[in-house]
Structure 1
Amino acid sequence: MELILKRNLEHQTIPIERLCSIFSNVGIQKSMNSIENPIIDIASPYLYQNIKRVQEDLPSNMQGVSQKEADYLNIDIKMETGTGKTYVYTKAIYELNKLYGFKKFIIAVPSLAIKAGTANFMKAKSNVNHFKNVCGYKTEIKLRTVESIKTKKGKKKYVPNSIRDFVTSSNLQRNTIEVLLVNMQHLKESKNGVLVREDYDSHIEGYFRPIDGISATRPIMIIDEPHRFSRDNATFKFIEEQVKPQMIIRFGATFPSEFIGRGKNRVEVKDYQNLIYDLNIHKAFENNLIKGVAKEHVESPDNKEEVFKILEMKKGEFVRFQKTELNEQGQTIKTTKELKTHDSLSLLSPKLSGITIDGILATKVILSNGEEKFTGDVFFADVFATSYVRESIRLALKRHFETERENFKRKFKIKTLALFFIDDIHSYRDNDMKEPYLKNIFEEELSKKLEEEIDKCNISEEEYQKYLGESLANINETHAGYFSQDNVSTEEEIEKEVNTILFDKEKLLSLVHKDGKANTTRFIFSKWTLKEGWDNPNIFTIAKLRSSGSDNSKLQEIGRGLRLPVDETGNRIENETFMLNYIVDFTEKDFVKKLEEEIYGETAFEQKVLTPEQIEKIATNKGLSKEQVLIDLMGKGFISFDREIKHDKIQEFMTEYPEIFNKLDKNRVRDRNLDKTREVAIRKENYWKLKSLWEQLNEKYYLHFDKINDNVLIEVVSDVITEDLINKTVRRTKRETSEMVQGELIFNVTLDTIDSSYDDTLSYGAFLKAIAESTNLSIPLIHAGIVKASKLKKIENAFFTSDTVRSFSIYFKQRIYDELLKIYSYRKLPNTTVHPTELTEENGNPRDFVKTSAYLGVKERKGTPLDTYLYDTILYDSEIEENNINENISSVEVYGKIPKRTLQIPFIDGSTYSPDFMYVVRDKNGQPTINLVVESKGVKKTQEIREIEDDKINAATKLFGKIKINENQGKYGKDTSLREFQEVLKDKQIKVHYVRQTNNENILDIINDLIQRN
């Protein structure tokens, strides 16, 4: 399989556009030396004006234009792990070359794993073709990697070809871009360092030290994972003083910190320098650009949080145990104790009474209860000395197979992977030092789990059953590992594993090998070596069989599995919500709390006073007056008398009123240990009454657009130009003069503007082509629109600039939106399957429980729902939803909330939309023939619904007007059997009604009105 890249994802396009736009009207001088990059005028005031301009949407604490004394320009781009940083900086290289002629780039990475991932991405044939054929770049990246060199005594030492080719490549060769990939180990002073040694028997362009030749090219340097390259470490100083790039672009999810002030005033701040884009973790979760996270840890049998680990042993003499427990403050406490043969484990804990040590071997302890423990093993304090590691593996496998079964049912399957972090290579790899107990435990548990999953397969899961059987028959092929020691291993099997994990992502993602045999490798083991920079989109479970410590960034820990998955065709799956199962050590039971703190620390809450709009929103949702809301909030201590927000209670305030804050959906980051009892059962007898409606609602439809008349498009082009939506680019200047007036020195300041558009003027042909590429309009049509506009206003040559192209694209899309509203319709996709869904299995039968109960709502109301309700639990998001669920309406045969993100109705702006409720209602004759879909809006009246939402509701009305379901669906009584019910379903069809409901509209009134009209 090949991974298929997508071209115009907004979160990846914006940073590239911003990066390129900062050079607008900045002097970029052609180099006189053929090996050099063009030279940026980093003193240009336009450069820093442009940076300030693109920072306008950043939080105030992240804004700031920095003109430090360094001889280079620094630009920062913040993108969360899993959102495509490598793609963005690769495309940025192409774009900077295309627009400004930059040809020499260096990518600095912190580790070999990241280096391998970057090289694999840039060399992949499918990716090369993407940038060439899909993006239309005429150039090709020549990737050169810096590797360590080994020379034998007496042999000549030659400068590595990769460095020589990078340096000597001429900027006259317009069809290539030179990229040098180097890991930080080479970016330092070292006697035998490949970049700095002076004893080569040849030179490059007169330079005997490779680093001097590299510096002479005036490179642009890209730093991946900047938190590993803090400005005060030796690597960064080497970059500044020896590489001497003219520009450094730092791409990362995490940036290093620096301290400002002294003593009590000393504060830690992030080291941002000219940050131009911030795709933080909050935005990534909120916009569904990454997986959600469901944390879980194994709880002890008696809920006492303590475990014991065997640190070491000496044959026949002693075993050293380490006890780990949490104190009342939640702090981790560790103590050690040595025991000898025949000692009781009660010396470790009274709960281990009755268990003694029968024997101590080189790496194994034999206990009197029949258990065998190995060096590194961890166990609970109970009568069985239950292995904590084994229980964690069982939990990880449980979550893995839950996910894998669902992913295998898809039309285009998703290979499901799991990643295990362990603390000792010898517990996994076969070796002479000790028995690989962890590998043995894993294979034992996996074998049992595979047998269990095979038995669960029904007649429709024959293919999955075969895949599981292949796994069981060849257990050793299901897992692989990568450890730092593997980098020097010469064993063929180990090298094969490493190559698959590091270099051949596509192979790991494939369900079958090239020879047609099942590819069952899907469990990866590592000793925290696979960290920043390495990830795999189909990691759905991460199990930490070791604690990484409390100082690590929680965002970095989960980063290996956040990327959205790809299916067997190589397509990235969007518009769905996926979860990363994260199994942690019990000492990290508060992982979710710390992760949330880090998420909200990234997006610091800056609001000081509650706004009238927020008060109005709470009043609307709660059905209270604004005065009552203020009294309630003051009573809870959330605000003061003058509406000032009390920040010591801000988290509590945000949790209770997420609708008025930019609060992350709690279901995107979950703690399964707290939510583990929250399974929502489907009342199957009620589902059968909704079956026909549910299946019709889940039919797949696509958007169809009638052709827009060319005259309309020409008119839009002309309007965008003539209505002065696009202005000439102007720059402000400030002129300061002084003069003596009657013996007093007077300062005068004159503000002026300079029309600088001419610096960026395009030829008319190039301008037309650029507009065509950004709007997908034909060149003749654009020309006709400009001609029409020119008859209404004079168009200066200064109009035809790159800035105009960007502005035109924005305003054109805004104007064409209104035209698309007039010409779209919905058409049914042929030959598609409805099942499985959130409520049904692949065979169409209802599930026992809702697949993801969180989709029904984040709030829960205790008590038993009405008999006619579809579920056994009441979950909701707003007050209007709660009222609808609790409304007892005698004419309703059955009703239920529609799980969020299930009925994803496509809309013209690329987004999707899903309604809230579905009802089957009895008509005037008492027959359940009326089918209703309701969209509930928490506003007082229809006029308050935002325009874009109103357009989406109209779209849903248009779609539901096409849906027909069986008229005889309801002609049965409560005693009618399923078979009898299915027999009465005939082909005659009626429509599905769709209504929107506001806070002023009662669902009873809506339904009664509908009955009267039918």
Structure 2
Amino acid sequence: MTRCARSSRCATPTRSTDLSAAMDIIASEYPGVVDFERDFPSLCFALATGVGKTRLMGAFIAYLKIAHGINNFFVLAPNLTIYNKLIADFTPNTGKYVFKGIAEFAISPPVLTTGETYERQIASGGNLFPTTINIFNIAKISSEVRGGRSPRIRSFREEIGESYFDYLASLPDLVLLMDESHRYRATAGMRAINELKPVLGLELTATPFVESTRGPVAFKNVILDYPLARAMEDGFVKEPAVVTRKDFNPAGKSPEAIQTMKLEDGVRLHESVKVDLETYARENGERIVKPFVLVIARDTTHAAELTRLIQSDAFFEGRYADKVIQVDSSVKEEETVEKLLTVEQNDNPVEIVIHVNMLKEGWDVTNLYTIIPLRAANARTLIEQSIGRGLRLPYLPCAGLFCLRHQEVEQHCLAAARRADDEGMAQIAFVKIEEIGASGVGLEQRDGIAPMITAGTSCRECMER
């Protein structure tokens, strides 16, 4: 990793890279990088949710293969959801295949090795393709190393005369790609993975910091920062709006009554969005997008209570009884999982998804337009990841993500708005629920912040421009 201007060709990373020299070179070009934070060169790309981190990961692999002849890659996923998603995205002939259109991979695509297949591939004598992408679930590795144990990947294999881990560690060109790297920076599994000693580490996350008792601690190796404010300004994601009630006074109202009010407001908002989306699609010859609502519950008991309420005749006369699913550790039915995985499809009846803590990173949908947070979320990472579930665009050049008012969410949005204002970028809108559905949505000024964006799908002018 020798010095290179941004317009010139960089040298191929090797095991002999001098970390100190590499740090000096990169810091001279990118002053924001002050420490690799690992025993090998590692750089973080902080990208807003919804702008294509997985695509960028594929671009990294294609570039390193084509320009530098690197053939071995190790991709880390933080959990089972993202693990399965990455396997699908790196599998040829799938809907979101990351190497689509790359001629070098058209005839000989990279072979995938996963936590379930590496032993079979060893037994079969390897593969015939020069490029290998290993995809592993760091959460599984972390569970295997508890109590000082060794992960299964380090078990001796007679077929190769060593463990698969040792085989990978011996490769002269192994590159480590870490998806959602904020999730496992200090885990035992990550410490074990560090022993692979890759020639280069590439981290991707929308939240480049780790939570601590003293607050968020920023990464020191961020080489590219593309925040939500800029993604909004460039039109790559929906524009969030916090929805409030005009002159609302909670005095004399029970927590249950306020909760029901939030749910009902959210569903009314959802119904307005649904009409606007269908109208837009029919007037512009686009496919109809079926929006849905995400409800964030406190725990599984609370989620079950919310499900029963929404399924009752007292809630919108039972109209949503068969349109709600509960997704958490207490629900394992295959039918529920299938409905969740196909929630973007118009023949899927689900319009309300209730979850506790399972649908964060890695759950990529484009038709989430309303979020109803009914749990405390003091951690900045949790708030950003929850909002991030609804930022992806289905096709509209300008669309809105509505979030029912919640103290922690509102504070986070205000902070984001201030940061955006400092950068001269788009800001978070605050919308009164009474004004949803009007031809123009009134925006409420908070703390001297004058929101510059409209509230998405309820604003006809915004949708048609």
**Which TM-score bucket, shorter chain as reference?**
0.7 to 0.9
Q: 1:142 to 1:54 in 2, by over 3 A?
A: farther
**Matching residue of 1:418:** 293
Match of 1:536 among 360, 365, 372: 365
Are 1:189 and 2:168 matched, yes or no?
A: no
Q: Which amino acid aligns with 1:255?
A: P
Q: 1:106 to 1:129 in 2, by over 3 A?
A: closer
Q: Helix, strand or coil for the counterpart of 2:312?
A: helix
Counting only pairs closer than 5 Å after superposition, residues 263-302 of structure 1 correspond to structure 2 as 270-273=218-221, 275-296=222-243, 302=249
Deviation (angstroms), 1:671: 2.5
Q: 1:72 to 1:286 in 2, by over 3 A?
A: same
Q: 1:276 to 1:254 in 2, by over 3 A?
A: same
Deviation (angstroms), 1:284: 1.4
Q: Is the 8 A contact 2:293 2:368 kept in 1?
A: yes
Match of 1:849 among 438, 441, 454: 438
Find the aligned partners of 2:8 and 2:161 in 1 and give their Cα distance: 32
Q: Which amino acid aligns with 2:17?
A: I
Find the aligned partners of 1:185 and 1:92 in 2 and give their Cα distance: 25
Q: 1:597 to 1:447 in 2, by over 3 A?
A: closer
Q: Is the 8 A contact 1:169 1:178 kept in 2?
A: no
Find the aligned partners of 1:98 and 1:440 in 2 and give their Cα distance: 55
Find the aligned partners of 1:439 and 1:27 in 2 and give their Cα distance: 55
**Matching residue of 1:405:** 275
Find the aligned partners of 2:460 and 2:263 in 1 and give their Cα distance: 31
Q: 1:523 to 1:849 in 2, by over 3 A?
A: closer
Find the aligned partners of 1:146 and 1:484 in 2 and give their Cα distance: 23
CA shift digits 1:308-329 (9 cap, x unpaired): xxxxxxxxxxxxxxxxxxxxxx
**Matching residue of 2:11:** 26
Q: Which amino acid aligns with 2:73?
A: F
Find the aligned partners of 1:520 and 1:279 in 2 and give their Cα distance: 36
Deviation (angstroms), 1:392: 2.1
Q: Is the 8 A contact 2:310 2:324 kept in 1?
A: no
Q: Helix, strand or coil for the counterpart of 2:389?
A: helix
Match of 1:249 among 202, 206, 228: 202
Q: 1:239 to 1:414 in 2, by over 3 A?
A: same
Counting only pairs closer than 5 Å after superposition, residues 785-804 of structure 1 correspond to structure 2 as none
Find the aligned partners of 1:530 and 1:258 in 2 and give their Cα distance: 19
Are 1:526 and 2:343 matched, yes or no?
A: no
Find the aligned partners of 2:433 and 2:261 in 1 and give their Cα distance: 17
Find the aligned partners of 1:544 and 1:67 in 2 and give their Cα distance: 36
Are 1:391 and 2:264 matched, yes or no?
A: no
Are 1:483 and 2:439 matched, yes or no?
A: no
Find the aligned partners of 1:192 and 1:48 in 2 and give their Cα distance: 34
Find the aligned partners of 1:100 and 1:145 in 2 and give their Cα distance: 24
Are 1:580 and 2:401 matched, yes or no?
A: yes
Q: Helix, strand or coil for the counterpart of 2:90?
A: helix
CA shift digits 1:361-385 (9 cap, x unpaired): xxxxxxxxxxxxxxxxx42xxxxxx
Are 1:510 and 2:348 matched, yes or no?
A: no
**Matching residue of 1:597:** 415
Q: Helix, strand or coil for the counterpart of 2:236?
A: coil
Q: 1:238 to 1:677 in 2, by over 3 A?
A: same
Deviation (angstroms), 1:74: 0.9
CA shift digits 1:224-256 (9 cap, x unpaired): 1122223x443332222x322221111111123
CA shift digits 1:577-604 (9 cap, x unpaired): 211111244xx1x633332325656x7x
**Matching residue of 2:41:** 73
Q: Is the 8 A contact 1:24 1:50 kept in 2?
A: no
Are 1:144 and 2:117 matched, yes or no?
A: no
Find the aligned partners of 1:301 and 1:534 in 2 and give their Cα distance: 34
Deviation (angstroms), 1:522: 2.9
Q: 1:244 to 1:41 in 2, by over 3 A?
A: closer
Find the aligned partners of 1:236 and 1:480 in 2 and give their Cα distance: 34
Match of 1:90 among 55, 58, 67: 58
Deviation (angstroms), 1:298: 6.8
Counting only pairs closer than 5 Å after superposition, residues 878-889 of structure 1 correspond to structure 2 as none
Q: Is the 8 A contact 1:196 1:211 kept in 2?
A: yes
Return the TM-score normalized by structure 1. Answer: 0.39
Find the aligned partners of 2:247 and 2:188 in 1 and give their Cα distance: 46
Q: Is the 8 A contact 1:214 1:243 kept in 2?
A: yes
**Matching residue of 2:456:** none
Find the aligned partners of 2:292 and 2:92 in 1 and give their Cα distance: 21
CA shift digits 1:525-567 (9 cap, x unpaired): 21121112323121111112322346655322311111112xx
Q: Is the 8 A contact 1:480 1:524 kept in 2?
A: yes
Find the aligned partners of 2:7 and 2:198 in 1 and give their Cα distance: 18
**Matching residue of 1:160:** 119
Aligned residues: 443
Counting only pairs closer than 5 Å after superposition, residues 113-512 of structure 1 correspond to structure 2 as 113-123=81-91, 125-127=93-95, 131-133=99-101, 137-138=105-106, 139-147=108-116, 160-161=119-120, 164=122, 169=126, 173-174=129-130, 176-187=131-142, 189-190=145-146, 194-195=151-152, 198=155, 202-207=157-162, 209-218=163-172, 219-230=174-185, 232-240=186-194, 242-257=195-210, 270-273=218-221, 275-296=222-243, 302-304=249-251, 307=254, 378-379=255-256, 387-409=257-279, 410=281, 411=285, 412-426=287-301, 428=303, 436-444=304-312, 448=316, 475-476=321-322, 478-486=323-331, 489=332, 494-501=333-340, 504=341, 507-512=342-347
Q: 1:46 to 1:286 in 2, by over 3 A?
A: same
Deviation (angstroms), 1:79: 0.4
Q: Give the fraction of aligned pairs with identical amino acids, expressed as a percent.
A: 16
Q: 1:524 to 1:142 in 2, by over 3 A?
A: farther
Q: 1:292 to 1:558 in 2, by over 3 A?
A: same
Find the aligned partners of 1:402 and 1:103 in 2 and give their Cα distance: 51
CA shift digits 1:658-715 (9 cap, x unpaired): xxx533434xx1233xx45667xxxxxxxxxxxxxxxxxxxxxxxxxxxxxxxxxxxx
Deviation (angstroms), 1:404: 1.1
Find the aligned partners of 1:117 and 1:537 in 2 and give their Cα distance: 15
Are 1:42 and 2:17 matched, yes or no?
A: yes
Higher RCO structure (Cα 8 Å, ≥6 apart): 2
Find the aligned partners of 1:46 and 1:25 in 2 and give their Cα distance: 14
Find the aligned partners of 2:171 and 2:8 in 1 and give their Cα distance: 20
Find the aligned partners of 1:269 and 1:301 in 2 and give their Cα distance: 36
Q: 1:91 to 1:67 in 2, by over 3 A?
A: closer
Q: Which amino acid aligns with 1:189?
A: V
Deviation (angstroms), 1:297: 5.4
Find the aligned partners of 2:7 and 2:23 in 1 and give their Cα distance: 8
Are 1:555 and 2:390 matched, yes or no?
A: no
Deviation (angstroms), 1:143: 2.6
**Matching residue of 2:429:** 670
Q: Helix, strand or coil for the counterpart of 1:125?
A: coil
Deviation (angstroms), 1:401: 1.0
Q: Helix, strand or coil for the counterpart of 1:245?
A: coil
Deviation (angstroms), 1:278: 1.2
Q: 1:217 to 1:229 in 2, by over 3 A?
A: same
Q: Helix, strand or coil for the counterpart of 2:270?
A: helix
Match of 2:75 among 90, 97, 107: 107
Counting only pairs closer than 5 Å after superposition, residues 586-735 of structure 1 correspond to structure 2 as 588=407, 591-598=409-416, 600=418, 662-666=423-427, 669-672=428-431, 675-676=432-433
Structure of higher CA gyration radius: 1
Q: Is the 8 A contact 1:81 1:253 kept in 2?
A: yes
Q: Which amino acid aligns with 1:508?
A: V
Q: Which amino acid aligns with 2:160?
A: E
